[in-house]
Amino acid sequence: MPADPSLAAAEGSYPDIARLQRLQSALDGAALLVTETDAHGMITYANAAAQRYFGYSPAECVGKTVLELTCPADRERLQQQVREWVQQGLRTAELENRIVHRNGAIFTFLWSVTIHYDEQGHPIHFTSIGHDISQQERLRQELHDKREMLYTVIDSLPIGVFWKDKESRFLGCNRRVLNDAGLTSFKQIIGKTDFDLPWHKKAPIYQHSDRAIMNTGPKLNIEETLTRGDGSVIWLRTAKLPLRRGGETIGVLGFYEDITELHHQEEGLRTFRLLVENAPDGIGITDTDLIITYTNPAFAAMLGYENLTGKAWLDLIHPDDRPRLETAIRQPQRAGIARTTLRYLHRDGTIITAQCSVPALRNRNGRIVGYASINQDITEQLRAEAERQRLALQEQVIHAQQAILRELSTPLLPIAAGVVAMPLIGTIDSTRAQQVMETLLEGINQYRATVAIIDITGVKVVDTQVAGALIRAAQAASLLGAQVVLTGISPEIAQTLVHIGVEFYDLVTKTTLQEGIAFALSRRQAPQYTNGRKVLVKR
């Protein structure tokens, strides 16, 4: 729009001039900032609002460029925008930018720009009408800052926060939800449903829950699992409530906390309680005054009660063992777990002996808040041990008696130098025959005997087995350089031996023991050595 001198010189009648003057007055009185610039951005006209926003009078603005009065940070963008308008041949356009007051103040304007072209399509000047939106911009910035602060707060929460529309499409969430989904940008989750995310297998359950909450109201303490972007599964405690605007439900707002560790602890506690409840040992817990606050079924059954809660622990223990318990519970106060043996009083009056471990129970500050006791009933074990010891002693006595009997059943008597005698009585079985062999050979070696007399006067029956044992004994004795003399053969035994065809080639036989001794004494032999070999020579 031309400046005042141009208006005065404009062609036309007085009414036209008056109308232009009224227009000028209207422009000057308006809150709008109006400028005209040439094709090079030089200001050729500015209305009175220029004084308010530029700090220059309209006349002072003429000759200045638009870029001079534009905020430096917006200048490049302004130039780029104007070039694009011209290239596209636009005649009207809108632009938001900031201008700088003479005193440094900055105003934000929304411009409506009209571009005038010549017949060849080249821009010749620009008419710009600007509306001060600084207040709106400040409000918008404040709103933006508050929103950013809200997002910062929500992102800083250790819980997951999300909100969806009525179709269960995500409208937003905090960083925790984004991380669980394996995403890096909030734009990646907006518009998606649970079917599009790593937990898609549970999507039908989640969306059914969303619909129910939008229809019926909030739901708290929902325990459920969530599959994260890395494939791991965590446990959540979720709360959901309808998202409303103006009384109308527009979606659902949800919060969740990761209770995986707590869930595992609870599972561990359940498992531990199951183990304690079914443990064969009696387990009890008391307070610091030794009043029982818990026992497992095994402890109550061990003492013949249905319930021990509320009873004094000391009252259940034999009076003579109570000082031992008091000593045991003082030990954990120093360190470790005390272990002792206690005698409990069964409800029926009998004594139950238990091996007891007493750990102290401490709070987070290390202060003792009670005691536990783990009691293994060793009553039967002690009885069994006593019985085992009794049987072991009895067995030792039996072994000693058997040894004596063996010595009595196979006695070996040295009767002269180089002569030993073994009088046998009773029945000879395979075991006793082996004992005869061992005792005889040991005696020959021990006494360096050259003659060994075996008297069977007291043996009533000699069969093939006994005869064979005697022959083997004689053969073994001969290997040690001794001769075996068999005495005490009765007529009945002689007939039996002949009948069964036994031949005693290595034995000398005599009727009585006396004859055998006389023979041995007359035939004693002493070892001689010839050419390095031992031979037996008669004396």
CATH code at position 421: 3.30.750.24
CATH code at position 46: 3.30.450.20
Could you tell me the end-to-end alpha-carbon distance of the chain, in angstroms, rounded to an integer?
170
Residues 167 and 119 in one domain: no
Q: What are phi and psi of 355, to 5 degrees?
A: -85, 120
From CA 257, how far away is CA 239, in angstroms rounded?
9
Average pLDDT over residues 341-348: 94
267 in a structural domain: no
- The DSSP string of 227-266 is E-TTS-EEEEEEEEEEEEETTEEEEEEEEEEE-HHHHHHH
191 in a structural domain: yes
Last residue of a domain, one of 216, 232, 262: 262
Alpha helices in 157-255 (DSSP H): 175-180, 203-216
pLDDT tens, position by position, 59-84: 999 999 999 999 999 999 999 999 99
Residues 432 and 358 in one domain: no
287 in a structural domain: yes
Residues 234 and 295 in one domain: no
- pLDDT, position 2: 44
From CA 453, how far away is CA 488, in angstroms rounded?
10
165 in a structural domain: yes
- pLDDT, position 258: 94
Domain count within the chain: 4
Provide, for the chain, the percentages of residues in helix, strand and coil under a 3-state DSSP scheme, each rounded to the nearest 5. 45, 30, 25
Cβ contact 46:54 at 8 Å: yes
pLDDT tens, position by position, 423-445: 888 777 777 788 888 888 888 88
Residues 317 and 247 in one domain: no
151 in a structural domain: no
- pLDDT, position 502: 67
Cβ contact 193:207 at 8 Å: yes
Pick from 178, 120, 128, 130: which is nearest to 151 by CA? Answer: 178
From CA 15, how far away is CA 21, in angstroms rounded?
10
Cβ contact 329:321 at 8 Å: no
195 in a structural domain: yes
- pLDDT, position 387: 87
- Tell which wins on pLDDT, 151 or 111: 111
From CA 9, how far away is CA 6, in angstroms rounded?
5
Q: 213-228 as b/e, with b when 16 or more CB fall inside 10 Å?
A: bbeeeeeeeeeeebbb
Last residue of a domain, one of 212, 234, 262: 262
Q: What angle (nearest 5°) sits at the alpha carbon of residue 365, between those of residues 359 and 366?
A: 25
* 3-state SS class at 487: strand
Amino acid at 500: I
**Residue whose token pair is 């460029």:** 65
Least confident of 296-300, 306-310, 362-366: 362-366
Residues 377 and 424 in one domain: no
Residues 172 and 233 in one domain: yes
pLDDT tens, position by position, 301-325: 999 999 999 999 999 999 999 998 8
Residues 6+ apart with CB under 8 A from 229: 179, 180, 181, 182, 183, 198
392 in a structural domain: no
pTM: 0.47
Residues 9 and 99 in one domain: yes
Residues 115 and 185 in one domain: no
Residues 130 and 197 in one domain: no
Question: Is 137 a residue whose pLDDT tops 60?
Answer: yes
Q: What are phi and psi of 298, to 5 degrees?
A: -65, -35
Residues 258 and 289 in one domain: no
Residues 123 and 181 in one domain: no
391 in a structural domain: no
Full domain range(s) for residue 119: 4-138
Question: Is 403 a residue whose pLDDT tops 80?
Answer: no
From CA 196, how far away is CA 181, in angstroms rounded?
10
Residues 412 and 534 in one domain: yes
From CA 377, how far away is CA 350, in angstroms rounded?
13
Q: What is the dihedral of CA 364, 368, 369, 371, to 10 degrees?
A: 120
Q: Kindly tell me the sign of the dihedral angle through the C-alpha atoms of 470, 475, 481, 485.
A: positive
* 3-state SS class at 338: strand
pLDDT tens, position by position, 6-59: 444 444 555 555 555 555 555 555 579 999 999 999 999 999 999 999 999 999
